[in-house]
Structure 1
C-alpha cells in the first residue's frame, strides 16, 4: 500500500478515491489492534504486526538493496541531479496514477505545507546528503553514520511533545546493541572513522538528523490529504529542491546518461522510492518512529547478504555474530517499547467499538 509520510490515517480498506477523516491523537485504534497494551503492563510488541510489519520488512529488504544502486549511480552521474531526478520521476509517476484513478490535490493549505516540509526534511536533507557523501566515504564508514538514524529518531521522538512512546532503558540498550553490531559488521575501526574525509561524516550526520526529524514531524502532523497524492508531492518537492541545487552547481554539464546510470535510476525509482518510501511511510503511520527507525540497523545486514548471494562476497564468523547482534537488538526493541498514556479503559473502549 502506498502511503504518505504525512501520516494520513486511512482505513486499510479505503480505496484510492477515499479521503479519510483525520483524528490527530497520538495512538490510534490501529495501534491498539496491533497489540499495544497500557504502560506498565510489561513487554509488548510495539505495533508492528500484520500490514505494518510487512511494510517494515519491505523497507528493510528494498532499502538494503539500494546501497549498490546508489553507488553505481554516483559513479556515472552527478550526485544532486541523480538524487533529485530520481524522486521527481517517482513523484510524477505516482501523482499521475493517483489523479487518473480519481484522487484530488489537497484542498487545505496546511496539507500542502506539511507535504512540502516532510519532503524537504526526508528527501532533500536526508537522502540527497547521503548520495553526495558517498563520493568521499567508503561504504562501511557511511553505513556507520547512516544507522544513527535509529538513535536520532529515538531522540527526537522522546524530546518532541506528542510522542507515541517512551525512551526506556530497554530501548536505549537495544539501540546501542544494534549500533555496536553494525560497527562489527562493517569492520570499521575508530581510527578509520576519525580519519575519514570530514565532508562525508558531516554530510551523513546532517542527513541522518534531517531524516529522523522529518519522520517525527510527519508522525506529529497527520493530514487529510490523500496518502498517494501526499507521498507524490513530498517526492516532487524534495526531489525538485535537490535537482535545483544540482543545476545551481553546474552539474548539468556533467550529465551523461549511460545504461548503468539509467538502470540505477530505474531501480531506485521503482524499488527505492515508489515501493520502499511508501512502505516506510505506511509503517511510520502505524508505529512509533523509534520502532520504525530500526530499519537502519537491518539494511546493512541485507546489503551483506545480497553481496554474499549475488556477488559471492566472503562472509566470516564475525559477520554472523554481528548479524545476530543486530537482529537480536531489533527484536529486543520491538518487545521493549511501550506506548504510554493508554489506560485499560481506552483499550476496552476501542475493542468494544469495533
Structure 2
C-alpha cells in the first residue's frame, strides 16, 4: 500500500469517526439514546458480518479465545459506548470528541494491569498525568454539580472512553484467531443486545422513535460509514502500520467533530476546551516520544 493511499485512508477514517459525534448529537432529537445506539450497532453488525462471511472462511468464533474476544468487545468496546450516546444529550459533539481523544492516554494504564509485559516508564507516567490534566481542563469539574448538566454528560463520555479502552486491551489479551472484522461484527451484535436491555430497564420505548428522512440519513451514516466502512478501513490500516499510527486518528477526530458541529449544529467551543485538548496531545507525545521519533525517522527514510 502506497504512502499516499495510506494517508488518504487515514484522513478518511478520521473524517468518518469524527463526523460520528455531531451525527449522534443530531440523531438524539429523533431516537432515545440507548435505542439509538442499539439500532446503530445492530445494523453495523449485519453489515460487517455479511462482509466477513463473503470475504473469509474464519468469520465465526470457533475457539475459546475467539469467544472471549467477542465477549470483551461486546460488553466493553461496544456495550460501553451506550454511555457516549447518553452523555451527548448534555454536551457538545466537539467536547465529546476531545474527551474521547484521551483513549490513547487511558490505554497504557489498562495495559499495565492486564498485559504484564507492558510497563510505563517514568516519562510515560508523566505523559499519562499530563493527559489527565488536559481532560480536567476540558471537563472543568464542579463538585457542586458533579452528576448534573453538562458535567454529568462529560463524565459519562469519559466513562465510555474508559470502557472502550478496557475492551480494546481485553481483546488484545485474548489473541483471537478469527477475522478481526468478523470479531467486531459479533461484538457489535452482542453490544447492541446489551444496550437494548439497558434501554428497556430505563423505560425507553420504540414508540418514542421517530425516523423521518433526516433520522434515517443519520442512522445510515453511523451504521454504514462510521461503523461499517470506518472499521474495515481502520483494521486494514491497523494490520499495515500497527496501533501507534492508528492512535493518531484520535487527535484528528476532535478537529472534524468541532468543525462539523460548528457548521451544522451551530455549536461553539470554549478556548479552555481547546487548551485542554492541546494538553492531552502533549501528554500523548510524552507517553509515546520514542515511538513517535522512530516513526518520524521511518517516514523521512521513505520520502528520500
TM-score class, shorter: 0.7 to 0.9
Find out whether 1:208 has 2:161 as its counterpart.
yes
Deviation at 1:237, TM superposition (A): 1.6
> Quick one: which of 75, 90, 100 aligns to 2:29?
75
Q: CA RMSD in A?
A: 3.8
Equivalent-residue separation in structure 2 for 1:205 and 1:321 (angstroms): 18
Equivalent-residue separation in structure 1 for 2:269 and 2:95 (angstroms): 18
Deviation at 1:266, TM superposition (A): 0.9
What TM-score does the superposition give when structure 2 sets the normalisation length?
0.74
> Quick one: which of 212, 217, 224 aligns to 2:170?
217
Query: Structure 1: which 5+ runs fail to align?
Result: 1-11, 13-48, 339-354
Q: Could you say which residue in structure 2 is the equivalent of 1:123? A: 78
Equivalent-residue separation in structure 2 for 1:55 and 1:130 (angstroms): 25
What TM-score does the superposition give when structure 1 sets the normalisation length?
0.65
C-alpha change, 1:221 and 1:282, in structure 2 (3 Å) is: farther
Deviation at 1:196, TM superposition (A): 5.2
The correspondence of residues 298-337 of structure 1 with structure 2, limited to 5 A, is 298-307=252-261, 325=279, 327=281, 329-337=283-291
Query: Structure 2: which 5+ runs fail to align?
Result: 293-304
The correspondence of residues 1-354 of structure 1 with structure 2, limited to 5 A, is 58-101=12-55, 103-106=57-60, 108-110=62-64, 111-125=66-80, 127-139=81-93, 142-143=96-97, 145-163=99-117, 165-180=118-133, 189-191=140-142, 195=146, 197=148, 199-248=152-201, 249-281=203-235, 287=242, 295-307=249-261, 325=279, 327=281, 329-337=283-291
Q: Return the structure number with greater helix share.
A: 2
1:224 alignment partner, SS class: coil
Equivalent-residue separation in structure 2 for 1:221 and 1:79 (angstroms): 31
Deviation at 1:223, TM superposition (A): 1.7
- Number of equivalent positions: 286
Deviation at 1:53, TM superposition (A): 7.6
